[in-house]
Amino acid sequence: MTALRELPEDIQQLIIKLPFRVGYYISASDKTGGDDADQKEMLALQNIVTFYVEDTLKSEFAQEVMLLMLKEKNHWGEWKEHIEIVPEECLKVTAALVGIVEMKEIIAFKNNLLEIAISVAQAYREFDDRVSTVEKIQTYLAIIFQRVRALLLGEEIQSTDMMLNISREERMAIGLLADTLGIEVKI
């Protein structure tokens, strides 16, 4: 906990909570799917954060934070409170890390947070045959619009499955996080 020790205790705790809170923020952003979807997304969140701890391709700082977060798993239920302030917490953490942690480590940590957010959004499809016809039409029109836009801008065209797995609300939450973290993302 070398770099973390240099920070105030409240910032240390916030940094440790943030990967979980980012994932839960995305999960909570979409209210469709009901309790079944929420339970599946919580399981997916657990699996995703566990995977990211085992992932050796990220920075030492991000690895340390993820390990500490997993050690605090018994507190995850408490960490769900006031989830709407997660973007502000991202700003607070980023500002606190400047000058304490190398910039490449900060960037890797921010990317790790965004990867968790996107992975949670992709983990469970809340759009299925039970949604209304109007919602289906709106969704498929949005997909067509995104594909035409991608073609015109020379961007990568995402699969229909990927587009259906990430709801409009989750896209908006990811977009807000990406803007807050200063990362350009196309989903």
Q: How much is the pTM? A: 0.80
- 56 pLDDT above the threshold of 90: no
Residues ≥6 apart with Cβ < 8 Å to 47: none
Specify if 159 maps to a domain: no
Specify if 143 maps to a domain: no
Specify if 90 maps to a domain: yes
Q: Are 77 and 120 in contact (CB under 8 A)?
A: no
> Containing domain of residue 93, as a range?
8-126+167-181
Specify if 137 maps to a domain: no
Q: Are 182 and 110 in contact (CB under 8 A)?
A: yes
Specify if 162 maps to a domain: no
State the pLDDT at residue 98: 95
- 112 pLDDT above the threshold of 70: yes
- Between 119 and 175, name the one with better pLDDT: 175
- 134 pLDDT above the threshold of 80: no
Specify if 151 maps to a domain: no
Structural domain count, the chain = 1
Specify if 35 maps to a domain: yes
Specify if 142 maps to a domain: no
- 138 pLDDT above the threshold of 70: no
Report residue 98: phi and psi, to 5°: -60, 130
Of 23-37, 63-77, 127-141, the least confident: 127-141
Residue pLDDT, tens place only, 121-131: 877 655 555 66
DSSP H or E run through 154: none
Name the DSSP class of 73: G
- Between 7 and 47, name the one with better pLDDT: 7
Three-class DSSP category at 163:
helix
DSSP per-residue string spanning 97-149: HBTTB-HHHHHHHHHHHHHHHHHHHHHS---STTS-HHHHHHHHHHHHHHHHH
Residue 65 CA to residue 53 CA, distance in Å, equals 9
Measure the CA angle with vertex 172, ends 41 and 48; round to 5°: 30
